[in-house]
């Protein structure tokens, strides 16, 4: 009986494996096609100044508008893009498309905003990355100071390789933010040496802000650290007014989250920004 069970368990296991492998393959092949057609889209999440309440930035978040499967979130295809090497092409597309769109809004009289773009570790480590950034800036004519690249703590783990790249990017005028701060491994001493402008406090700390005293202490420590070292701060995933008030009283600069707005499709961004201007005037 044990043998039969083992065999069943094995069959079940391999069936599950193959369906996962199939999905992977489907996504990988689909992504290749999506990069040629218009299936990838960018959504834009407002980043708000905690004191003035105005939108000061937009984070660019990629989505895949799949003809059969509908809108697919990045968690489902970014890891596959990373493993298959497609992330380089995808990343270039995101950079170029976002910079052009941001420049277009500026030309149409939109406010000066920080445009934050996510960069995977393997994307950052690729030798073509830097030239991709230069090209996107040149092509679009976007002011480099408007561009912020979001990297993760793992980029900091290879300082001898990555520090020169970070320094050259900053020499261009581009800003560097550490995304999901507090979730990875990073040495504070290293952080201090590296050219970084901003820290983004991970949503997991923000989530617990209302009721967990430890999370409140950790967030307070991150805010204190950032202030001491001179980094700007953005809190991610702010969903409640209580979280917003805690963050504001701690001295956090900016926030983004569903309390303010979800990531918006491109055609909804001008209305959002216009609404803000109306608040300012009225």
Site for Mg ion, residues 159 to 178, rule: CB under 5 A: none
* 180 lines the binding site for Mg ion (CB under 5 A): yes
- Tell me how far apart the terminal alpha carbons of the chain are, to the nearest angstrom: 77
Q: Which is nearer to Mg ion, 179 or 253 (CB)?
A: 179
Closest separation between CB of residue 122 and ligand C2E, Å? 9
* 34 lines the binding site for ligand C2E (CB under 6 A): no
Residue choice 45, 97, 118, 162 for contact with Mg ion (CB under 5 A): 118
CA distance 276 to 45: 14
56 phi, psi to nearest 5 deg:
-115, -10
| Partner whose footprint covers residue 12, from ligand C2E, Mg ion, none (CB < 5 to 8 Å by kind) | none
| Partner whose footprint covers residue 75, from Mg ion, ligand C2E, none (CB < 5 to 8 Å by kind) | ligand C2E
Helices and strands of the chain, counted as H and E runs: 11, 10
Q: Which is nearer to Mg ion, 66 or 198 (CB)?
A: 198
Site track for ligand C2E across 1-30, x = CB under 6 A: ------------------------------
Report the residue count for the chain: 282
- C-alpha to C-alpha distances, 70 to 28, 36, 65, 142, nearest whole angstrom: 16, 18, 6, 32
Q: Is 19 exposed, middle or buried (0-12, 13-18, 19+ CB in 10 A)?
A: exposed
* 254 lines the binding site for ligand C2E (CB under 6 A): no
Closest separation between CB of residue 117 and Mg ion, Å? 8
* 153 lines the binding site for Mg ion (CB under 5 A): no
Closest separation between CB of residue 226 and ligand C2E, Å? 17
**Token pair belonging to 246:** 């805690």
Give strand ranges (E) for the chain: 40-49, 55-66, 70-72, 114-118, 147-151, 175-181, 198-201, 232-235, 254-255, 264-265
CA distance 141 to 137: 6
Q: Is residue 214 within 8 Å of 176, Cβ to Cβ?
A: no
Closest separation between CB of residue 18 and Mg ion, Å? 31
**Interface with ligand C2E by CB under 6 A: which range of 72-80, 104-112, 169-177, 243-251?**
72-80
CA distance 46 to 36: 28
Closest separation between CB of residue 128 and ligand C2E, Å? 15
Site for ligand C2E, residues 126 to 155, rule: CB under 6 A: 150
Name the residues that contact ligand C2E, by CB under 6 A.
45, 61-62, 73-75, 78, 91, 94, 118-120, 123, 150, 179-180, 236-239, 256-258, 263
Residues lying near Mg ion in the complex (CB under 5 A) are found at 118, 150, 179-180, 236
């Amino acid at each position: 009986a044990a043998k039969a069970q083992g065999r069943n368990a094995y069959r079940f296991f391999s069936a599950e494996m193959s369906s996962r492998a199939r999905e992977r393959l489907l996504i990988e092949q689909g992504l290749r096609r999506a990069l040629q057609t218009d299936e990838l889209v960018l959504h834009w999440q407002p980043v708000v100044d905690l004191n003035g309440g105005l939108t000061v930035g937009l984070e660019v978040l990629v989505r895949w508008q799949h003809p059969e499967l509908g809108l697919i979130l990045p968690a489902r295809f970014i890891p596959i893009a990373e493993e298959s090497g497609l992330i380089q092409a995808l990343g270039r597309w995101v950079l170029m498309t976002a910079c052009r769109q941001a420049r277009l809004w500026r030309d149409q009289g939109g406010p000066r905003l920080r445009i934050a773009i996510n960069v995977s570790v393997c994307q950052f480590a690729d030798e073509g990355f830097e030239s991709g950034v230069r090209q996107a800036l040149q092509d679009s004519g976007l002011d480099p100071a408007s561009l912020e690249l979001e990297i993760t703590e793992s980029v900091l783990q290879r300082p001898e390789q990555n520090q020169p790249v970070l320094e050259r990017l900053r020499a261009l005028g581009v800003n560097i933010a550490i995304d999901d701060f507090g979730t990875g491994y990073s040495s504070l001493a290293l952080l201090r040496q590296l050219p970084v402008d901003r820290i983004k406090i991970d949503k997991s700390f923000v989530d617990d802000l209302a009721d967990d005293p430890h999370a409140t202490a950790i967030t307070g420590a991150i805010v204190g650290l950032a202030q001491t070292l001179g980094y700007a701060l953005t809190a991610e995933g702010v969903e409640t007014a209580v979280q917003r008030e805690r963050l504001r009283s701690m001295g956090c600069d900016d926030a983004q989250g569903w309390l303010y707005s979800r990531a918006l499709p491109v055609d909804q961004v001008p209305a959002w920004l216009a609404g803000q201007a109306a608040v300012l005037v009225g």
